[in-house]
Structure 1
């Protein structure tokens, strides 16, 4: 597939500086791109690479002013990084566009409603009374339980397990090995020291434009729904417990665990290996640093670090004092010798 620099500029609402007929057939990094590739310059530290890059065209900011002669064609856009991401999305769609039809062996219950232009990979399973939208792609060995709803243009990768009654929106991507709707961790202690299983009767509801990483697990609610709202992005190896609610456009990095019935607001960021206690509320636009342990609710717009987590500025001051402890101890020891 080849596209002209002019076509790409029109797609991104940009403008061409140089040869608009330049042909682009692939994407690449600015420092090692080959002829025919499109690269981007977003981070100023990579500016030297633009003066000798082999890329046929480079996305740059509209305000970019080169300090030397640039041999490549420039495509000026508002945000090169976002523009390049848009192109990656379009390229990904083209690569997957041909995935239509049914491979054998596969199974879909006769009571289920299957949309148009559906792809069903070999050994995939669709249970009873499901509603599968248009242009959905269900890759090999994926399991879709009874009464599941999947919206248009959603991709279910190989080995995904979607338990009964789950609801998944449109334009979602669920990566390999993810489990949606497994039982929440509900056990009632008994007088004799054993535990009695509490039936988990709820479901999982996932909004539109949600991405769920490989081997991430989202438990069904005890009653009601575990809810992942529109635009949420979950990394690999994340545990979301029963009855959790995650607000719109929140992003969570790998190896994070969120305990039951916690509510996370909109546009929050939880970095890697964060642990969140159950029954808390994390306000909108909050940021939790890597490996933090959140043991109490957070107001909106807070930034916290540490375990237990507390205000970022206070944490940095405390950490600076902690790093100074060896010197302080040495000084105290010297003073004790003198006096």
Structure 2
């Protein structure tokens, strides 16, 4: 069933410009949208496409040119579009109970409306909140605690005694609470240091596929509330990640590093251990962080330096072959000049 632009504007907290009774059945991008669909403009670079889209309506920021089309005006079109995707396409999960083929240990506590698919292993002493969904292959080790509205996708492992907050999503193949990488030198070999701490994942965190978060050696590895972690990320033992961070694919964070709130680590960033990164820091892709970084800055490069300095350095990088040739010519001229001056020196008396 479609919804009128008036209904959608109320839902989004925006206002309609045009026919507020027009019906919307779904969503699409500017290029692909047709009659009965709504689209959005978040990047001014594509503003010209508003004039040519066939969508019934467009979500625009205040003051943008609607080219005579039906418009829902909101402060953040990208966020509004995400909310409409949720409204139209995300349906409440069905609660199916514990299915045949799931293995449930002793002294397991379950809330209401839990779904556990075949092939799940829930060990002794596990605590599950309300509306938890465990897909096939999930393994919950002894003493694990899950909050309400947690979804663990296929083949996720949560190791012993780790704690997961409310509204957490963990995608396929992720491992939370694996042993930290700790070994003491022992002659020519190494002695494994028992990792007896845990991982605590706070509320509203999302963990990507095949990501690994190591348990602490003694205390807690902590992922702060609202943080989003992409696929293929490695977080070492004893790390503390602040609230509302964005950690993009293939980032590696070494042990005992503390990261502040609202920090963004772009793809393939590497962070050395025992460091502190301040609040509101952004680090560019493939950067290497060997030392502490103060808050409220942008950094790039290997080693990471302030982003503006890195841009200047990169501007020079492409000219290095030419500069090398120039330096070689100058060196040759200096040598020739020194030779001439040396030939004119009077002989010592």
* TM-score, normalised relative to structure 2: 0.90
Alpha-carbon contact 2:95-2:131 (below 8 Å) kept: no
Matched, 1:274 2:269: yes
Structure 1 counterpart SS, 2:312 = helix
Deviations 1:61-92 (A, max 9, x none): 232233x332xx32111211111122233445
Stretches of structure 2 that go unaligned for 5 or more consecutive residues are 337-349
Structure 1 pair 337–263 and aligned structure 2 pair: CA distance change class (3 A): closer
Structure 1 residue 100, shift from structure 2 partner: 3.7
Structure 1 counterpart SS, 2:293 = coil
Structure 1 residue 335, shift from structure 2 partner: 4.0
* TM-score, normalised relative to structure 1: 0.93
Matched, 1:22 2:22: yes
User: Residues 106-117 of structure 1 correspond to what in structure 2 (within 5 A)?
Assistant: 106-117=102-113
Which residue of the other structure, out of 75, 82, 86, is the alignment partner of 1:85? 82
User: Residues 70-219 of structure 1 correspond to what in structure 2 (within 5 A)?
Assistant: 70=69, 73-91=70-88, 93-94=90-91, 96-191=92-187, 193-219=188-214
Match of 1:235 in 2: 230
Structure 1 pair 150–93 and aligned structure 2 pair: CA distance change class (3 A): farther
Structure 1 residue 221, shift from structure 2 partner: 0.4
Match of 1:69 in 2: 68
Structure 1 residue 158, shift from structure 2 partner: 1.1
Structure 2 counterpart SS, 1:135 = coil
CA distance in 2, matches of 1:324, 1:261: 40
Structure 1 residue 195, shift from structure 2 partner: 1.0
Count of residues in Structure 1 that have an aligned counterpart in Structure 2:
334
Return 43-52 or 298-307, whichever deviates more.
Answer: 43-52
Structure 1 residue 243, shift from structure 2 partner: 0.4
CA distance in 1, matches of 2:88, 2:106: 35
Structure 1 residue 330, shift from structure 2 partner: 1.8
Stretches of structure 1 that go unaligned for 5 or more consecutive residues are none
Structure 1 pair 124–46 and aligned structure 2 pair: CA distance change class (3 A): same
